[in-house]
Amino acid sequence: MSLPRLAAAVATAGCLAVLPLATAGPAGASGGPGVPDRPLRQLAADDRLRIGTAVDTSALADDADYRRLTGAQFSTVTPENVMKWEVTEPRQGEYDYAAADRLVDFAHRHGQKVRGHVLVWHNQLPSWLTSGNFTADQLREILHRHITDTVRHFKGRVWQWDVVNEAFNDDGTLRDSIWLRELGPGYIADAFRWAHEADPHALLFYNDYNTEWTGPKSDAVYDLVRRLRAEGVPVDGVGFQGHLGIQYGLPTGMAANFARFDRLGLATAVTEADVRMEMPADAEKLATQAEGYRLLLDACLRTRHCVSFTVWGFTDKYSWVPGTFPGEGAANLYDEDYRPKPAYRALQAELTGRARPASAG
């Protein structure tokens, strides 16, 4: 990403539509009885940052409180599932963008930008793809067509794309996936080139988990994006997912890790933040959770070109965590009854009165 392009991305992050203030009640987070609160999106705008949430589109359609909070509190949205390949092309050559289009339309109506998630991943692939007996050349063409068709469909309506997701193991080796086995490591560069050709104005991200701190995995991602940029591959940013668990201790050194990617001239973003715990929750665990969220946001705010901070869902009512990590949960900013938790207050406080480093340009 050139400096003018990166500066434009940072400037765009701060250009937010101003909506009415959220008020007390199940769909707001009041500072006291009858006292209006500034939504997170307005507080973040003061710091030239966009703050977002992953969206469960079924809840968006069926739950009025969920829908109201999604629109009022956040300035970006990420589809949890409806832009993944198994949804958009369930049968080869038959596309279904309807659910994703509805989310994009919702975002437009609420002055929100969209993070597209995800173009290339080893998971949630359609069965026709994973069970097909394709040659390497055929698979390469299938991937090329998928990226091109998807990005062109949303051209001009998606701000950032997670182009390649979770390509590394925790030890820094490349993940054994259908893409690596059949196409070799060059599939990563190809994916970014094809996405850029389809929409030259979208910001293109590499996205992964357990990369928030320095270590073998984040080092491998750093080496990858540094090499790709040196080769002229259009990688614009790196997404740090931010899935934390308080039972493992909270990570340190995140700001320094973000900063080294920033020095490469890359945008950065926290893309999927949640902080889970072993159940049941109690006051001490919730306080530790709040500190985890604060540390993630602090690392972003300290980083000159961190353009967005996204939570992976905002209410425990629709959390993915209990179904994936048995015995764990309570990972989000609001509880199941839409009451704001200490984690929500921690983000409010962190966004209040901060002075971010000056942007480029």
Which residues are CB-contacts of 134 (< 8 A; sequence separation ≥ 6)?
Answer: 142, 182
Which residues are CB-contacts of 26 (< 8 A; sequence separation ≥ 6)?
Answer: 65, 337, 338, 339
The residues facing 237 across adjacent strands are: 205, 267
pLDDT at 244: 98
Q: What is the pLDDT along the chain (361 residues), one digit of tens a residue?
A: 555 456 566 556 655 443 433 333 444 444 433 334 799 999 999 999 999 999 999 999 999 999 999 999 999 999 999 999 999 999 999 999 999 999 999 999 999 999 999 999 999 999 999 999 999 999 999 999 999 999 999 999 999 999 999 999 999 999 999 999 999 999 999 999 999 999 999 999 999 999 999 999 999 999 999 999 999 999 999 999 999 999 999 999 999 999 999 999 999 999 999 999 999 999 999 999 999 999 999 999 999 999 999 999 999 999 999 999 999 999 999 999 999 999 999 999 999 966 566 553 2
Asked if 246 contacts 289 with a C-beta cutoff of 8 angstroms, the reply is yes
- By annotation, the residues acting in catalysis are 166, 272
Could you tell me the pTM of the whole model? 0.92
pLDDT at 37: 79
How many other C-beta atoms lie within 10 A of the C-beta of residue 185?
11
SS (HEC) of 206-228: EEECCCCCCCHHHHHHHHHHHHH
